[in-house]
């Protein structure tokens, strides 16, 4: 019997010795450093954090880490609404390729599956096929924009003038119902688990809407604030809110919506755009752009806006090198280098251009204006 156990032990040791470790292990301080996963680069599909407050900070995922292009054969375009039409430019040459007469064109949002664009105009929300460049029949609504639940189950259209959020079919935007709000809400983003849409009200509050329950589940006032933009932080634990009145960014606890801190950036902070690697957020103010480091919470020196005129932030290019903005006052759109702030392109289009959007955009899904996962 002892001899039998000795033989088995020897076989086990031999087998373990012959099999190399599936993952390389290093002593503390040794080993290589893996490159960071960027918004535009290859990355795993990440399961959202179920509870941002209770998540282990070491294992908290980057909610923006997913990448990929769902849209196939769609030409690379830059879409610019200018108040009277939707201008379509080639991303490579920056030359006009289409001009769609859409009176009141003010914003462009990609559909949830990235196969369709929606233009906010005087008629409501007009679908545009990015492959053909043709506009379809407008869906009547008084809403400012449209958001899509991360699972694609529903579309949400804030209607600030009526203090409500319309609930609509995600593909056709057919009306389902509405949720009353305590304030006139506009800009927003979804919680990490996708269960709630958090919206900013310019009157000085943020609210959370649960579409499944058709109810407002949380409200937080920000005394003296004028919230203008809102984004979920990459770790899913906080929301960032641009405040025009105080000239900076609030950080709110994602679970309770309570303010954690306020970071001054520049006067008139009005829009937030994440860098492609999701390590910085570009805070656009009345006269400058301030890159805010999300790890340290420290703002970098401001980049003056060309001409000192107010601008609306659009998208960052797929390679992360340029930030597109529009100046409704000067009638121009321009691109700043995301490392230096240097103006690389300026296109005098005329009219009153609004936030430029690129398409196709890296990401699995669109959740709303400039929001991708």
Ramachandran assignment for 363, one of left (phi > 0), alpha (psi -120 to 50 degrees), beta (any other): left
How many other C-beta atoms lie within 10 A of the C-beta of residue 145?
Answer: 19
Name the percent of the chain lying above pLDDT 70.
81
For the stretch 88-137, pLDDT in tens is 999 999 999 999 999 999 999 999 999 999 999 999 999 999 999 999 99
Using 50, 70 and 90 to split pLDDT, how confident is the model at 73?
Answer: low
Structure confidence at residue 110 (pLDDT):
96
Residues 6+ apart with CB under 8 A from 184: 160, 161, 163, 201, 202, 203
Structural domains in the chain?
80-372 (2.130.10.10)
- Global pTM value: 0.82
How far apart CA 314 and CA 323 sit, in angstroms, is: 7
How far apart CA 359 and CA 115 sit, in angstroms, is: 10
For the stretch 288-323, pLDDT in tens is 999 999 999 999 999 999 988 899 999 999 999 999
Structure confidence at residue 22 (pLDDT):
35
For the stretch 182-211, pLDDT in tens is 999 999 999 999 999 999 999 999 999 998
Using 50, 70 and 90 to split pLDDT, how confident is the model at 176?
Answer: very high
Classify burial at 287, counting beta carbons within 10 Å of its beta carbon; exposed 0-12, middle 13-18, buried 19 or more: middle
Residues 6+ apart with CB under 8 A from 215: 179, 209
For residues 333-339, give the mean pLDDT: 98
Using 50, 70 and 90 to split pLDDT, how confident is the model at 277?
Answer: very high
Q: Helix (H, G, I), strand (E, B), or coil: what is residue 10?
A: helix
Using 50, 70 and 90 to split pLDDT, how confident is the model at 248?
Answer: very high
How many other C-beta atoms lie within 10 A of the C-beta of residue 10?
Answer: 10
Name the percent of the chain lying above pLDDT 90.
76
Is the Cβ–Cβ distance between 232 and 190 less than 8 Å? yes
CA 353 to chain centre: 20
């Amino acid at each position: 019997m002892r001899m039998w156990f000795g033989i088995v032990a020897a076989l086990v040791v031999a087998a373990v010795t012959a099999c190399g470790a599936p993952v390389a292990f290093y002593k503390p301080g040794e080993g290589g450093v893996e490159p960071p996963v960027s918004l535009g680069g290859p990355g795993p599909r990440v399961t959202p954090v179920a509870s941002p407050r209770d998540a282990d900070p070491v294992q908290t995922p980057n909610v923006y880490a997913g990448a990929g292009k769902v849209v196939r054969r769609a030409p690379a375009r830059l879409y610019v609404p200018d108040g009277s039409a939707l201008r379509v430019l080639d991303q490579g040459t920056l030359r006009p390729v289409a001009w769609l007469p859409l009176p009141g064109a003010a914003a462009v949002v990609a559909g949830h599956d990235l196969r369709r664009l929606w233009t906010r105009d005087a008629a409501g929300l007009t679908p545009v096929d990015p492959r053909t460049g043709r506009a379809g029949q407008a869906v009547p609504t008084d809403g400012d924009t449209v958001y899509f639940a991360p699972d694609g189950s529903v579309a949400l259209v804030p209607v600030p003038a009526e203090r409500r959020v319309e609930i609509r079919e995600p593909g056709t935007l057919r009306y389902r119902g509405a949720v009353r709000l305590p304030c006139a809400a506009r800009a927003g983003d979804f919680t990490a688990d996708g269960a709630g849409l958090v919206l900013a009200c310019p009157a000085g509050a943020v609210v959370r809407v649960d579409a499944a329950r058709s109810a407002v589940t949380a409200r937080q006032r920000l005394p003296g604030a004028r919230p203008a933009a809102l984004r979920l932080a990459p770790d899913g634990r906080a929301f960032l809110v641009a405040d025009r009145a105080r000239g900076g960014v609030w950080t709110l606890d994602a679970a309770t919506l309570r303010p954690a801190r306020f970071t001054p950036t520049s006067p008139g902070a009005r829009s937030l755009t994440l860098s492609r690697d999701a390590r910085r957020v570009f805070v656009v103010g009345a006269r400058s752009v301030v890159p805010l480091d999300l790890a340290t919470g420290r703002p970098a020196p401001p980049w003056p806006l060309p001409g000192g005129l107010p601008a609306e932030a659009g998208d960052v290019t797929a390679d992360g090198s340029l930030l597109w903005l529009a100046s409704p006052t000067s009638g121009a759109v321009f691109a700043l280098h995301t490392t230096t702030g240097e103006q690389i392109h300026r296109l005098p289009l005329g009219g009153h251009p609004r936030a430029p959007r690129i398409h196709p955009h890296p990401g699995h899904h669109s959740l709303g204006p400039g929001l991708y996962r």
